[in-house]
Amino acid sequence: IVPARHLPGHGMPPSDHAAMLADVREGLQRTPKRLSSKYFYDAEGSALFEAICVQPEYYLTGAELAIMREHSAAIAAVLGPSVLLIEYGSGSGLKTQLLLAQLVEPAAYVPVEISQAALLESVARLGETFPQIEMLPLCADFTQRIIPPRSAKPPQRRVIYFPGSTLGNLEAHEALALLSKMRDEMGEHGAALIGIDLKKDSAIIEAAYNDAAGVTAAFTLNMLARFNRELGADFDLAQFNHRARYNCMAGRIETHIVSRCAQTVHIADRLFKFAADEAMLVEYSCKYSLDDFARLAARAGLRVKSIWMDAEQQFSLQYLVR
Ligand code: AVI
């Protein structure tokens, strides 16, 4: 079991200008250059991500929603009554609603989200739909230790809900550390419910990260636009490309930002040189087989007790216990 201190450096809020500047500089000094995918999600990036979720090629959201539409009653039955539902990330809309609608007298709902605006907005929305459920929003980084607030109704167990295949954006050792942290936080009789994208024909996966409308490309390059806006950098977006390829051996989409020419970029008082075709890693999206994921969970001291999948078996919702 990996201690939580080995989780990646998500400790500072991405809005922290000085920390972001230091982090970006450090990433651009590396060979090969590397930037954290957490910088995708400013207001613009979050809106672009919402747009990705409705692109026809991006099957993940539709498949996970289909699972919730088909199985949320069965899932709620397995979770049992008086659950304290802790969601990593702010209630991501419809999936959370489908689950909350089926839960049997839940003790409370605790969304954990680093962006206060996103957190308050989701709780206001969910609070209207579910006035009978106590909402206990927690503005925090879910990769750090979470201490859930006390609910008015005593919970029978804690269930950590982590939908959307976000675990796939972590490298194996980071995913292991997060699962181990979940194990600690769920308590002895707790559980986790995690959305995991499955391995499949690589053409289907690659298409999902290279949609024809170019929304994913805009999402990727928005990271550079964000650095221009927030750090006063001078990235010329027309001189960079989005590239997402499936690495079969590693079982993951690897997204790079590729420099179209030899060029120099200024960030604050520093210069960074890019060679023509130089690729900068910005995101992994890991895909798992059912066996891969069961093995990873076991290394974190967790057991896969149930799995729900969509009809085409593209996506899975995994129910884990200690
Ligand atoms: C948030 N996460 C699960 C998305 C994914 O599929 O890896 C982010 C994303 N990146 C490009 N398209 C979507």
Query: Which DSSP symbol is given to 200?
Result: -
| 229, HSE (Cβ side, Cα atoms, 13 Å) | 12
285 CA to middle of ligand 1, Å? 7
186 lines ligand 1 (CB under 6 A): no
Q: Helices in 103-241 by DSSP H: which ranges? A: 116-129, 172-186, 202-208, 215-231
**Ligand 1 site, residue 52, Cβ cutoff 6 A:** yes
Q: How far apart are the first and last CA of the chain?
A: 12
Which of the listed residues 283, 314, 315 should we mutate to test ligand 1's pocket, taking the one with most ligand atoms within 8 A of CB? Answer: 283
DSSP-derived 3-state class of residue 191:
strand
Angle among Cα 69, 138, 288 to the nearest 5 degrees reads 45
For ligand 1, the distance from its centroid to the CA atom of residue 35, given in whole angstroms, is: 15
Pocket test for ligand 1, best of 35, 209, 215, 216 (most atoms within 8 A of CB): 209
Ligand 1 near 318 CB (within 6 A): no
Radius of gyration of the chain (CA): 20
pLDDT, residue 92, reads 66
Which amino acid residue places its CA nearest to atom 9 of ligand 1?
A: 49
Q: What's the distance, CA 263 to chain centroid?
A: 32
* Ligand 1 atom 5: residue of nearest CA: 285
Rounded to an integer, what distance in angstroms lies between the CA atom of residue 7 and that of residue 300? 13
> Is the CB of 89 inside a 6 Å radius of any atom of ligand 1?
no
- Closest CA relative to residue 1, chosen from 126, 204, 184, 259: 184
Burial class (CB in 10 A: 0-12, 13-18, 19+), 53: middle
Q: Using the mean position of ligand 1's atoms as its centre, give its distance from the Cα of residue 53 in Å.
A: 9
Q: Check pocket membership of 195 for ligand 1, CB cut-off 6 A.
A: no
- Rounded to an integer, what distance in angstroms lies between the CA atom of residue 62 and that of residue 101? 19
Q: How remote is the CA of residue 188 from the centroid of ligand 1, in Å?
A: 32
Which 3-state string (H, E, C) describes 63-130?
Answer: HHHHHHHHHHHHHHHHHCCCEEEEEEECCCCHHHHHHHHHCCCCCEEEEEECCHHHHHHHHHHHHHHC
pLDDT in tens, the chain (322 residues): 333 333 333 344 545 899 999 999 999 999 999 999 999 999 999 999 999 999 999 999 999 999 999 999 999 999 999 999 999 998 668 999 999 999 999 999 999 998 898 999 999 999 999 999 999 999 999 999 999 999 999 999 999 999 999 999 999 999 999 999 999 999 999 999 999 999 999 999 999 999 999 999 999 999 999 999 999 999 999 999 999 999 999 999 999 999 999 999 999 999 999 999 999 999 999 999 999 999 999 999 999 999 999 999 999 999 999 9
Backbone phi, then psi, for 187, in 5-degree steps?
A: 80, 175
pLDDT of residue 170: 97
Cα–Cα distance for residue pair 6/295, rounded to 1 Å: 19
Output the CA 257–ligand 1 centroid distance in Å: 15
Q: Report the atom number in ligand 1 closest to the C-alpha of 253.
A: 7
Ligand 1 center from residue 214 Cα (angstroms): 14
Q: How many whole angstroms from 249 Cα to the centroid of ligand 1?
A: 20
pTM above 0.90, yes or no: yes
If DSSP codes are grouped into helix, strand and coil, which group holds residue 273?
strand
Burial of 131 (0-12, 13-18, 19+ CB in 10 A): exposed
pLDDT at 7: 37
